[in-house]
Amino acid sequence: MLRIEQPLWLGLLAGLALLALWRLWRARLEQRAYADEALLPWVALGRTQRWRPTAWTVLQLGTALLIVALSNPQWGERRTQSATQVAADVVFLLDLSRSMGVDDIPPSRFDAARTLIDRLLAALGENSRAGLRVFDGQSHWVVGITKDHSVVRYFLKRARVDSLPTRGSRVELALGQTAAALQRDGVKQATVVLLSDGHAPYWAQQPRPPALAAYGKAYQLLTVGMGTPQGGFIRDDKAADGVLYFRNEKVRAPLYETMLQGLTTPLGGTYWRYDSGAGLVDALKQRIQAFSAEHASASEEWQWHSLRPWFLGSAFVLFVLAFWSVRWRRR
């Protein structure tokens, strides 16, 4: 199958055809001025009766090929893409609450989460699509789902703890907002990787977001608990000792593992505590690819190959022939 990627360039062929007709008309006028019209069949006008291509004809043909090359003609072949080859869609939901700055996982929970995302992107490969959302009191898109992992990495490096306008570490709300955003964007299946240390169980519970019902069906939830049960002190750069105080007591933030497990399991997800080894990356990759293959069906797609180099090469050869033809005649 053939197609033209930029068909507007072909409009120049009409101008080239008009130029050729104009030159033909001028040639006829010159013939009539040379001899009577009745005698034209008997006059050779310095040419043989056999037609030969002129330098101008070769130049016109080369220009036509150049115009076709600019339109980028392509030929395509249909290929079947199996379910196991279908790209996985992954959304990283990253907690930016102040407790993610705790250093019980060196250098900090937040830095460890960023490193894990970077390693998982490398493991999934360029065929996968990834997006980045961050949350504290509310969740927000940083990068929508894209195949350009460099964009995700760029903004991931520039994310900062406690940089959002609302606080609260509302994990359940963030999951609901993420599912709703994916539905609005028409994403039929995806894996959401939640990286958070949870929140205290005594916080006031908010109404359950309706979009959470999509987990376990269209969307898979994989949760990584960032931190240790013992936890560490929350940083406060304004304090003299660099530690956050509440009612004259240092604020310690443990990993609220029970809370995260209690949220993940009912949604059909899987929970892991953070581990810097390769085992966690491999486990996440396996779950992501298995979910993608399970929910994908075999599909057909066209693979297109450009013919532009062939047309450019042919045009170049014709231009060279026209140039040398003119030089030879001058000699």
User: Which residue's entry shows tokens 């115009």?
Assistant: 67
74 pairs with which residues across the strands? 3, 306
For 102-133, letters b (16+ CB in 10 Å) and e give bebbeebbbebbbebbebbbebbeeebbbbbb
Q: What is the pLDDT of residues 221-273, one digit of tens each?
A: 999 999 999 999 998 888 888 888 888 889 899 999 999 999 999 999 999 99
How far apart (Å, rounded) are the C-alpha atoms in residues 1 and 78? 9
Confidence band for 203, pLDDT divided at 50, 70 and 90? low
Half-sphere exposure of 224 (CA within 13 A, CB side): 27
pLDDT reading at 209 higher than 60? yes
CATH of domain 84-297: 3.40.50.410
pLDDT score, position 298: 47
Contact 300, 80 (CB under 8 A): yes
Q: What is the pLDDT of residues 78-123, one digit of tens each?
A: 766 554 455 789 999 999 999 999 999 999 999 999 999 999 999 9
Contact 74, 309 (CB under 8 A): no
Q: Is 243 exposed, middle or buried (0-12, 13-18, 19+ CB in 10 A)?
A: middle
How far apart (Å, rounded) are the C-alpha atoms in residues 177 and 140? 9
How far apart (Å, rounded) are the C-alpha atoms in residues 331 and 279? 78
Confidence band for 149, pLDDT divided at 50, 70 and 90? very high
Length of the chain: 331
How far apart (Å, rounded) are the C-alpha atoms in residues 187 and 220? 12
Average pLDDT over residues 33-43: 61
pLDDT score, position 31: 65
- Among 47-51, 58-62, 84-88, the minimum mean pLDDT is found in 47-51
What are the residues whose beta carbons fall under 8 Å from the beta carbon of 37, sequence distance 6 or more? none
Average pLDDT over residues 260-287: 95
Query: Boundaries of CATH 3.40.50.410 in the chain?
Result: 84-297
Average pLDDT over residues 209-228: 95
Q: What is the pLDDT of residues 4-20, one digit of tens each?
A: 888 889 999 998 899 88
How far apart (Å, rounded) are the C-alpha atoms in residues 231 and 197? 10
Q: What is the pLDDT of residues 313-323, one digit of tens each?
A: 998 998 888 88
pLDDT score, position 205: 59
End-to-end CA distance of the chain: 47
